[in-house]
Structure 1
């Protein structure tokens, strides 16, 4: 398995098509009124990252060229002001952005899960953040989400709950 940045891929269009397929295979939302609503939902959760942080968008690529997972990252959560208007509840944990300035979203293609791909992507992004001198990174998930144990095993041990949301932070220095 190799990890490749979007900006280093020759066929970025195919990679983004794979991102879309993996995104919709991973989301719990399945009903959309029309194609425009579906596209807007994808744009809410991935659009800013593709447009503004393509070097922090990582793909896991199998030997046969299959894109098996992706990670969209943002190294400056506080400075990414358009995200607070795009992603619902983005600002709920803004008081923790100084200690954990980077955040990410990671998804792995069904059939490729439980093989360590998500962990590879998370650790690669964490390495980048550490190299850039960032003190930590975080994610936000639901308090009953099935992914909590995965993130805890990946070193996200600082937790804070607000309503139905759970902030998980990983210190890098």
Structure 2
């Protein structure tokens, strides 16, 4: 049976791989990105570095096959990344600002996220200051594994005094939407083809 444990620095490669293998609205994005690390740099790595107390992995005999990562204070987390995480990546990846949005490759779309100096916090953060990402490889999906991971993070967030958590999901990822709604998340807003869901802790 899979077990849940706190993530470790030695899990970084596994988190990056899972992030890529679930990066196309839950499907394998390996064929979409020329750089296999770029998704992980944005959606996995910073949480392991700057919010390790809120990072948990799901492990079986084959190794780590899923994770949930988050931060209790999205505003403070983003400020930390602006100081300590994004500058190194901005030096590594070129800014695609001169390339029309509709002409950008998947890699260039992620580079645009890395170079976004105008990140705006949402009113959602007032009631739901925490946010999370959860990804499971196919072998880990089902059997209550996703719920168990979420509950482990919810407990850590509650212990930290957090009132609510939010997440983003792609508008076409109906499977994930159903999973979150079954857990009790409710829709908060829709923007740019994505949906923000919130859960009161």
TM-score after normalising by structure 1:
0.82
In structure 1, list runs of 5 or more residues that go unmatched.
none
**Residue 192 (structure 2) pairs with residue 163 (structure 1):** yes
1:73–1:105 contact (8 Å) kept in structure 2: yes
**SS of residue in 2 equivalent to 1:111:** helix
- The alpha-carbon deviation at position 123 of structure 1 amounts to 1.2
1:94 corresponding residue in structure 2:
122
- The alpha-carbon deviation at position 41 of structure 1 amounts to 2.7
- The alpha-carbon deviation at position 132 of structure 1 amounts to 1.4
1:22 corresponding residue in structure 2:
18
Which whole-Å deviations, capped at 9, do the CAs of 1:83-102 have from their partners, x for residues lacking one? Answer: 57968499566211120011
1:72 corresponding residue in structure 2:
69
1:53 corresponding residue in structure 2:
51
1:100–1:169 contact (8 Å) kept in structure 2: yes
- The alpha-carbon deviation at position 158 of structure 1 amounts to 4.1
2:147 corresponding residue in structure 1:
119
Structure 2 counterparts to residues 124-139 of structure 1, below 5 A: 124-139=152-167
2:104 corresponding residue in structure 1:
none
- The alpha-carbon deviation at position 54 of structure 1 amounts to 1.5
Aligned length: 163
TM-score after normalising by structure 2:
0.71
Kindly report the root-mean-square deviation, in angstroms, between the aligned alpha carbons of the 2 structures: 2.4
2:6 corresponding residue in structure 1:
5
1:25–1:110 contact (8 Å) kept in structure 2: no
**Cα 1:112–1:79, aligned 2, differ >3 Å: closer, same or farther?**
same
2:92 corresponding residue in structure 1:
none
- The alpha-carbon deviation at position 126 of structure 1 amounts to 0.9
In structure 2, list runs of 5 or more residues that go unmatched.
87-109
- The alpha-carbon deviation at position 74 of structure 1 amounts to 1.0
Distance in 1 (alpha carbons) for counterparts of 2:19 and 2:192? 25
Distance in 2 (alpha carbons) for counterparts of 1:145 and 1:27? 11
